[in-house]
Structure formats: structure tokens, C-alpha cells
Amino acid sequence: MAFAKLWILIGLFIHALEYVPIQGQDDKMDGEAEEGEEECRLLGKFNLRGYVEAEDAIHVIGGMFPIHFRTILEEDPTSTPPMSPLCEGFNFRGYRWVKAMIHAINDINKRDDILPNITLGYQIYDTCYTMSKTVENSLAFLTGQNETTPVFRCSSGAPLAAVVGAGGSTLSIASSRILGLYYFPQIGYASSSLLLSDKYQFPTYLRTIPSDQVQSEGMADLVHHFGWKWIGTIAADDDYGKYGVKAFKEKVENAYTCIAFSETIPKIYSRAKILTVVETVKLTNATVIVVYSSDIDFHPLMEELIISNISAKTWIASEAWITSALIARPEYFPLLGGTIGFAIKRGEIPGLKEFLLDLHPSKNPDDDLAIEFWQTAFNCTWPNSNVPYNTDNRKNVTGHENITDFSSDQLCTGEENLEDLNNTYLDVSQLRITYNVYKAVFAVANALELLRLCKESGEAGPFEPGNTCAGIDDFEPWQLMYYMKNCMKFTVLDEFVHIDEKGDVYTPYDILNWQRNETGEINFVKVGIFNMTGEGNKEFRVINESIFWNNPSEAHPRSTCNDNCQPGYRKGILQGKPSCCYDCIQCAEGQISSITGMDECTACPEDHWSNEQRSKCVLKEVEFLAYGEALGMTLIALSIFGVFVVLAVTGVYIKHRATPLVRANDRDLSFLIQYSLIVTLLTSILFIGKPEDWSCQSRQVTLALGFSLCLSCVLGKTVMLFLTHLAKNSKVAEKARMSFKPIFQKIIVLLSVLTEVGICTAYLILEPPRMYKNTQFTTLKIIFECDEGSIVYLCVMFGFDVFLAILCFLTAIVSRKLPNNFNEAKFVTFGMLVFFIVWISFVPAYLSTRGKFKVAVEIFAILASSFGLLGCIFVPKCYIILLKPARNTEEIVGGRATTNDKSAPPTSASSTSEVNNTTISTVLED
């Protein structure tokens, strides 16, 4: 299919050629060409306007400047021979650049220290700020004529040394692709596109303006300096705009700065496309917009933005329009006031203002550009003018009538005064591009001077073969290019200029801010500087206090995709959105964000917790069983009460120590049991209060020792009862019981306590308890508790007490049925049952509680078991001693007398009566 279409196209082309007359055939028919002569024909002529002064010159420097804004659009030219388009829209700024080049050449011609006895001429053409005219100019420079025969130079005048121009980056790229084919030197004054640094594509292009790579980095630094996160970009639809914005995006975009939108200004005017850009600017929430465009391309968009009444935006301007009089108009200030932009280095050119004023159409009637300037500046028509058109006698590019109609029937008198004009042509206060034009001319002159000073002797010549030099009167463009590329260091107006091997120059940028003065005009106030060198070093300074901001509060603007997250919230990623757009998510418990716009929440320290707003960390509530709270006071009261009860029992025992009931079954053991109960009751107080290392170590050890003393004493008593029980049926057991003296009961106590002391000592030495801040159970509190250290040692320590309790219980339960009046074994059995019930129920309760209630459970267990032993072992005896003293006799206690008092409990002291009545007295007495 594709092959068939190609074949059809070829057929149509051949068919069309049949109708095209051949120039040679026509000439032969007319007899004007001889047979066999090669035929050639002129394809067309250019309509070039500008200035040419080369009559007495030895070398000519070419120049290309946008003297007009645009070309006049023609109808479809296929039915008539193509004509070079005409231009319209006089550009006062571009015309000043032309005059600056002429002034620079005049200054060089007057100097003796550079190119002495050599006169430079100029050949300057108007590009009309269009690519087609720029290409025409480039071909004219190559041929020496305004005809399209670019393989021959037919000019008989002075040779062209180099070309200055061509203004915009797109125009310079187009011309450099043609001039570079012949290695023809070209030096730009306003083309900053980073593409032109590529010496593979543009081997002969140099410039006196920094690359946009530098400007873009400065813009990115400016955005980051003010903390703007959400940036819009607008670019002209050319190499300057697109590659400038591309470089800016590469520098500015990161996790915190994003591009809100990227729009393009059409190169050929289209109101529909411009309105699309206007709508984007109107709807965006980005308050900062970067514009990479020339003033000519940006102007139509400005007209529509003003009509749409858009305000409160901060514009960041590239060097191409920051000081442009076309844009910096008072009527644009509501929109563009407060604009911040980068302007190339400003310079002062001596004598330029006087040279600009030395202009009048009468001095050269053939200077149609001067006539057109005069007509446009003073809104009049020059008498007998051969200028075929006026500049702005049409609707402007926005489709609206001009405020001032420049077409006029009034004739110019010639008496008009240039000094009365207030336009950009005579404004020499901001000579930036103009200063670059001046430097560009001096760069060419410097290269010519180096070529002139070349010596043939030795190895001074740079050209092969033979290290020869080129003559100043006869050289090729590539030979001049050698000096421009390798030796481009010179001084102009006290400024040292160095153009590197890429054709780039590094000069500082002024950061300007648009402010209004007292007369309503716009001032370009310098508020900072950006300077970057070829070594990568840079200087960036901004005076924030000097900046005027275009918003109602005149405050530093914010530009974000959405509002900053408030303290207590963090940024959350939105799927499919740039990183600068986010949700605000509240921090999790235990985390905070203390300032606005935090990306992540920070965790609070271990002993802190987040407040309800998650904005700051506060100390966690500390929990432990304190002395001052109700539960702690209650437990202390119970413990003290128990101690007083034990002391009361002890008092009773001391007072009635000589009575048979007190003396029965070893009085000393009873006192030791009472002492141990005081210890266990008081130990519970160690569990109350803020835990410390010493209290953690003392309370468990003291409790274990207290219980071991108590239970070992009880065991000493029950062992005696156990032997008495066995003695009923065994003579051997009777002999054993008779030989078991009170000292042996005390030995049992001593061995048991020493064993427990050994276990506790090992526990305290090897892995002792310590105070522990527990934050795992609850995140809102810090529970101060004791880390018990080695669980094994703890279990062995209390396991030994359990072992003693089991022995007491077994010996007591076996002896509980001794037939006597006061059987102590029954009460010990009840006491051990209470002890077991308390501690068996304690284990699940202890494991299921946390914090201070866990400690309270343990204290209740200690108090309950202590009160159980106290009540079961001593209360019955105190009942007899205090309330039934008649029963506290040796006869009744010993079982030799009976009692009808059913309330009087039997006593174990009488348990021997049935076994051997002769031994009663020894059992009763200690």
C-alpha cells in the first residue's frame, strides 16, 4: 500500500513537470544561448532592508536585528511568482540595537590600539523577527548579493569577516545552521538557548549572553529561596522558550517543588490558543508563573490577560522581556506589578545617547528606515516618502483596535524633536542587550586584531601546513574562527570578557523587581544578583525587604497545590498527583508534627505521648500504687491493723505466758510465728509507693523470708503433732516422740530459714530485681513496676515456701483427729487451707491484671494469707485465754479433766493423755 502511494506521488510530480517551461529551452528559442552552454537560472531575489556601509571598508561585519516585529501575511502565492515578504510593526528596541552596532564600529575605527589603519564596515539586515527573513539574510551574507546563489560569493566589495546576530534563539539557530556549513563566524547578542552550546551542531556560533542553563538554575534557586512549591510555566513556541522551560524544570523539580501547568504561546498568532492559555492561568491555584518568551511573543498574551482582569499573580521573567518597554507599560502594572526577573549585566556605552539623537530623515533621504522611524515615533507622514507602508495602520495582533492609531494624514515638518520622545529607542538607562551588541562587535574586532598580529616566523602560525598565518587582507572565514574559538579573551569598557570553548560567556545576572514610581512609570529595582562561573561556583543573593509583591497584603506570596498541613497532621500521597499535592492525615497516637507542612510525623520519646491535637509531646501519666491514693491508704491501714492485732496477740501471750495453753507445744515457736506475721504484714507496705531498685529487691526477699520463718515454725509444731499421732499405734513412734525435744523443732526452723536465706542471696547477687518503666501495656501511661529479674530464682524462692506449706498441711491433716480437748492440728489445717486458697486464687488474678492493681492483688494475697494464719492459729487460743480462762488449766488442757463447755475447743496439749498420762507435763511445758 505504501509503495503504491509513493508511486502515485512520483507520477503526479512528473506530470506536473511537463507543464514547467525550461529556461534553457526558452533561451535557445530566443537565440540568446549557444548550443552546448551550461544553463543556470536565478531562483529569486530577496527584499532586504537595513544598512550597508562598506565602500571604504577593508573588512565588513554583518548584523541581523529585528527592526520590525513581523512580516505581512500574504495570500496563497502559488498562482503568482513568490515574492520576498514585507515587514511591519517598527521595533524601537531593535532599531536601537542596530545603532549600537554602528556606534561600536565607529568607535573601533577611531581607535589606534586595535586594528590600526583598518576600517571596518557593516552590512546590517532586518530579520523582522521571523525565520524566513533570517534565512534570507544568511544567504545574502554568504553570496554577497540579495539572490539565492549560496555556493558562490559574488561580491566585489570588502570581504565579510563575521556576522553579529540574529536576535532570538530560533533565528540564530536557523542562521547558524546555514553559516556553519561554511564555518562562517557568528556571534550572538541575545540568543541564550542552551542548544547553541552544542558545537557539533553549531560549530561557529559564539555569544556574549549567558546560556539559559545558567538563567534556569538561577530561577530554580529563586523559587527554592522563597519556598514556592507549585509553579506554572509559559513558553514561547520556539527553541528559546521550550528548551528554557525544559532546563528550568530539570533544575527546580524535586519532591517539594512541582510544575502546576506548562503552556505554550503560539508563534503565529492564534487568539483561540492564547485564550486557552489565559483560561489556564485564570483557573490555576499556582500564584507563581515562569515565562520564557521574547517580549514580542509575550505581548499578545498580555493583552488578553489584561482583558480577563487577572491579578495577584507573581511572574518570573526571563531576560528576554524583563526590561522590555513593549511589556513594561503602566497599563500592565495591575497584572505584572511585582514581577521578578533575571536581566543580563547592565552597561554604560559612552556617546551612545548622542549618537541615537543624531538621527533625521533629511540627512539621508534614501534611509527609509529612518523615515519609517520618524513617521512611527511622531505619528506623521514624511513628505514625498518612498516608504511603501506604515507600521501599525492595521489591527494589532490581539484583534482589537490600537489605542493610538499610527496612521496619520498629518505631514512631518522635520522640526520634531527627538529629545521630546518617551520611547525605548532613547532609553539608555537599561542597556543590557544593547551592551551585548557592543561587546559582540568588539569580539569580532579582537579576533581580527589577533589574526593581524600573527607572525610567520618560528611556530607562531596556527595553520597547517607549515605553521603559517593568514593575512589580514586575505583570509578565509574558518581562519578567523580559529581566533574566535581559541583566544576569545578581551576587555571592553573596562570589563574582561572570556568566551569559552563552547562559545559561552559567564556574566552575572541582576535580579530585578517591577515597582511603580511617583509618576506612575515602572522602575526596574535591583533586589539581588545571581552569578555563576564556568567552574560551577555560584553566588545567589536576594534582598527580601526590597521586593514589592503584587497582592492585596503586599506580603510574600505562597504558591502551593493545597494549603499546608497544620500541626498534628502530615502529608499523605495522592495517587496520580504530583508529590506537591497531598492529603493532610492526622498523626498516629504517639506521634506529632509540631510545625505546618511536615512530611512525616515524629515519634514521641518513650516517656512522652502525643496530646489530643497531636501537636506536641506531653509527659505520660505515671501509674503506680501510691501512698496517697485511697487504695494505697486502705492497704496500709489493713497492714497496720494486722500488725496491731498480732501485737495484741503477742501481748496476750506475754501476759499469760505461764498458762498451760500458751506453754503448750513450744511457746517460743508461737512467738516466732507472731514475729513472722508482723514481717509479712509490714512487707506489704514495701509494695506501695514508687518502685525503686532497693524496694524491688527488698520486698520479695522480705516476703519470702517472712513466710519461710512462719511456715517453718508451723512445721516444727505439726511435726510434733504428727509424731504424737503415730505414737498411738507404734511403740517405736512413741520412743521417737519422747526423744524429739523442743530443740529439734528450733533446728527445723533454723535449717528452713537458712535454706531460704541462701536462695535469696543467690537471687540478689546473680540476677536481682530492678525498677522498670513499662510502656508496653498501655501507650497512655508509664507503669512503674518491678522487673523481677530471674523467674527461675523467684520460683525457687517462693517454691521453697510452698514446699514448707505442703509439709505443714500434710503433717497437720494427719494429726487432725487426735482425741483430745484442744487439737491444734485442726486449726493449722484450716490455716494451711486458707493459705493455699489465697495463693491459688492469687495466681490467675495476678496474671490478668496490670499496673497498680497487679500490686494491689499481691498485697491482698499477703494480707489475706497472713490474716488467715493469724486467725486460724492464734484466735482460738486467745478465745480460751481471754474469754474462757476456766478452761486454761493443766487438767483440762492436759485432758485429765473433762468439760461440758462445747464452745471450748479441744487442746492438743491433752493429746498425750490416751497414749501415756505420765508425759503430759513435759508436753505442756516449754
pLDDT in tens, 794-846: 888 888 888 888 888 888 787 766 555 456 777 888 888 888 888 888 878 77
354-358, 494-498, 533-537 — which is least confidently predicted?
Answer: 533-537
Per-position DSSP letters for 866-894, written without gaps between them: HHHHHHHHTHHHHIIIII-GGG-SHHHHH
DSSP, residue by residue, 491-511 = EETTEEEEB-TTS-B--PEEE
**For position 146, what pLDDT does the model report?**
57
CATH number for 663: 1.20.1070.10
Q: Is residue 749 part of a domain?
A: yes
| pLDDT for res 563 | 82
The predicted-structure confidence for 634-653, as pLDDT tens digits, reads as follows 888 998 998 999 899 888 88
Q: What is the mean pLDDT of residues 153-161?
A: 70
Average pLDDT over residues 534-554: 87
Of residues 790 and 649, more confidently modeled: 649
- The verdict on 579 and 709 lying in the same domain is no
Indicate if 725 and 576 belong to the same structural domain.
no
Helix (H) or strand (E) holding 261: strand 258-265
The band of 288, judged by pLDDT with boundaries at 50, 70 and 90, is very high
Q: What letter does residue 919 receive in the DSSP assignment?
A: G
- Percentage above 90 pLDDT, the chain: 33
Element (H, E) at 719: helix 693-727
Within a domain: 444:
no
**Least confident piece of the model among 237-241, 319-323, 355-359, 457-461:** 457-461
User: How sure is the predictor about 897, in pLDDT bands with cuts at 50, 70 and 90?
Assistant: low
**640 & 608 share domain:** no
Residue 564 reports pLDDT greater than 50 = yes
Q: How many CA atoms lie within 13 A of 296 on its CB side?
A: 24
Q: Are residues 665 and 780 in the same domain?
A: yes
Per-residue pLDDT tens over the stretch 60-101 = 999 999 999 888 876 665 666 777 888 888 999 999 999 999
So what's the pLDDT on residue 40?
64
Pairing state between β 120-126 and 160-164: unpaired
Domain assignment present for 798? yes
Place of cell 536465706: 757
Quick one: 744 and 829 in the same domain?
Answer: yes
Residue 599, domain member (yes or no)? yes
- Greater model confidence, 919 or 374: 374
Check whether residue 637 and residue 773 sit in a common domain. Answer: yes
pLDDT of residue 237: 92
Q: 413, 446, 429: which is closest to 356 by C-alpha?
A: 429
Which letter does DSSP use for residue 150 in this model?
T
Confidence check: pLDDT of 8 > 50: no
Report the share of the chain in percent with pLDDT over 70.
83
Longest dimension (CA), the chain: 178
Mean pLDDT of 690-696: 85
For residue 370, pLDDT over 50 is answered with: yes
Q: How many distinct structural domains can be found in the chain?
A: 3
- pLDDT at residue number 535: 74
DSSP string, 287-329: -EEEEE--HHHHHHHHHHHHHTT--S-EEEE-TTTTT-TTT--
pLDDT at 924: 34
Same domain, 586 and 647: no
The more confident residue out of 15 and 746 is: 746
CA nearest neighbour of 124 among 197, 62, 213, 53: 62
Which pLDDT score, from 0 to 100, does residue 799 have? 86
- Give 9-31 pLDDT, tens digit per residue: 444 443 444 434 433 433 433 44
Check whether residue 612 and residue 677 sit in a common domain. Answer: no
The three three-digit cell numbers of residue 500, written as one number: 569559552
User: Domain for residue 264, yes or no?
Assistant: yes
CATH code (residue 308): 3.40.50.2300
Band (pLDDT 50/70/90 cuts) for residue 250 is: very high
Task: Give the model's pLDDT for residue 260.
Answer: 93
C-alpha span between 637 and 772 (Å, rounded): 27
Range of the domain at 311: 212-318+324-349+508-546
Give domain status of residue 6, yes or no.
no
pLDDT value for 730: 55
604 and 659 fall within a common domain: no
| Across 195-204, average pLDDT | 92
Q: Is residue 537 part of a domain?
A: yes
Provide the 3-class DSSP secondary structure of residue 191: coil
Does residue 710 lie within any of the structural domains? yes
pLDDT given for residue 208 in this prediction? 94
* Per-residue pLDDT band at 916 (split at 50, 70, 90): very low
Q: What is the mean pLDDT of the chain?
A: 81
The whole-number pLDDT of residue 903 equals 45
Please indicate, yes or no, whether residues 600 and 691 belong to a single structural domain of this protein: no
Same domain, 825 and 709: yes
User: Cα–Cα distance between 728 and 911 in angstroms, integer?
Assistant: 10
pLDDT band of residue 665 (cuts 50, 70, 90) is: low
In this structure, what C-alpha cell is assigned to residue 223?
523559587
Out of 153-157, 275-279, 583-587, which region has the weakest mean confidence (pLDDT)?
Answer: 153-157
- 610 with 515, same domain? no
| pLDDT top residue among 234 and 848 | 234
